[in-house]
Amino acid sequence: MNLKSAKILIVEDEPQINRLIELVLLSDGFYNVKKAYDGKMALDIIQSDKPDLVLLDVMIPNIDGFALCRQIKNDSYLNTIQIIMLTAKKMEEDILNGFECGAIDYISKPFSNKILLARVKAHLKNITVRSINYKNIEIDNLKKIVSLDGKLINLTKFEFEILKIMLSAPGVVFSRAQLLDYLRGDGGFDVSQRAIDVQILNLRKKLKDFGSNIETVRGVGYRLKEDN
């Protein structure tokens, strides 16, 4: 897929913000952009012309963003759509709720145009990279599932993202701050770096023997052991 030809739907009930996002995308070369101003209008567009990515505000009329996100992710035809939540909500509970609904990312308003574009491009690139394989583990980017020795492993949203980051760059050391910045998008909510240690601990347990490949670099962060 040509990145700039990706189908992007903006779901935002504030006309000025909706138009601003559209202009940001158009100015960078994205041309297949549609807009919706409420949940029902968005769902009609999604069902008639399935987008690759949806920029979804939480506080929209008719069907709120969380409910719409769930509806998309519970549909076997639509669930490969990438969803980035755009909202003024900054509480950690809201961030987690968005991820639990199936969102891939979360950007708080007011947002940086550069960050918005960077996130859009990063997640659209993930669509073209269907799977990542490393030793006896495989990540399916579209279905958001992990297989170990052919068996599905149930990971949380954060655990999945941490594992994907590490599998994409074996041997590279990621600091706790880097992992945290990636998970929380634009820094729109405040959690301790200690949360990363908890996610790594849980991830190692779920991955059993493979978990030993996630190495602690004392005083720095974590890395995935290179396959020599």
189-213 pLDDT tens trace: 455 667 888 889 999 999 999 999 9
**Local confidence band at 187 (pLDDT 50, 70, 90 cut-offs):** very low
> Which domains, and CATH codes, for the chain?
3-128 (3.40.50.2300), 131-224 (1.10.10.10)
* Distance in angstroms (rounded) separating the CA atoms of residues 156 and 228: 29
**Can you give the pLDDT at residue 180?**
77
DSSP state of 26: H
**Local confidence band at 102 (pLDDT 50, 70, 90 cut-offs):** confident
**Local confidence band at 1 (pLDDT 50, 70, 90 cut-offs):** low
Q: Are 55 and 76 in contact (CB under 8 A)?
A: no
> What token pair was written down for 110?
């007011």
* Distance in angstroms (rounded) separating the CA atoms of residues 183 and 3: 23
Q: Are 148 and 137 in contact (CB under 8 A)?
A: yes
Enumerate residues 6+ apart whose C-beta is below 8 A from 164. Answer: 132, 139, 141
210-228 pLDDT tens trace: 999 999 998 888 999 987 6
Count of other CB atoms within 10 angstroms of residue 33: 18
pTM score: 0.61
Starting at the edge strand found earlier in the chain, the sheet holding 8-11 runs 33-36, 8-11, 53-57, 82-87, 105-108
Long-range contacts of 124-131 (CB under 8 A, 24+ apart): 124/1, 124/3, 124/6, 124/52, 124/53, 124/82, 125/3, 126/82, 127/1, 127/6, 127/52, 127/80, 127/82, 128/1
Crossing angle between the packed helical segments 113-128 and 15-27, to the nearest 10 degrees: 60
Q: Which residue type, as a one-letter code, is found at position 207?
A: L
Q: Please report which helix (H) or strand (E) contains residue 59, including its range.
A: none
**Can you give the pLDDT at residue 186?**
43
**Can you give the pLDDT at residue 2?**
66
Q: What are the backbone angles phi and psi of residue 77, rounded to the nearest 5°?
A: -85, -35
* Distance in angstroms (rounded) separating the CA atoms of residues 6 and 52: 6
Give the angle 104-22-129 at the CA atoms, nearest 5°: 35
* Distance in angstroms (rounded) separating the CA atoms of residues 55 and 85: 6
36-85 pLDDT tens trace: 999 999 999 999 989 989 999 988 999 999 999 999 999 888 888 889 98
11-31 pLDDT tens trace: 999 999 999 999 999 999 998
Q: What are the backbone angles phi and psi of residue 56, rounded to the nearest 5°?
A: -120, 120
Q: For residue 141, what are the β-bridge partners?
A: none
For all residues of the chain together, what is the average pLDDT?
Answer: 86
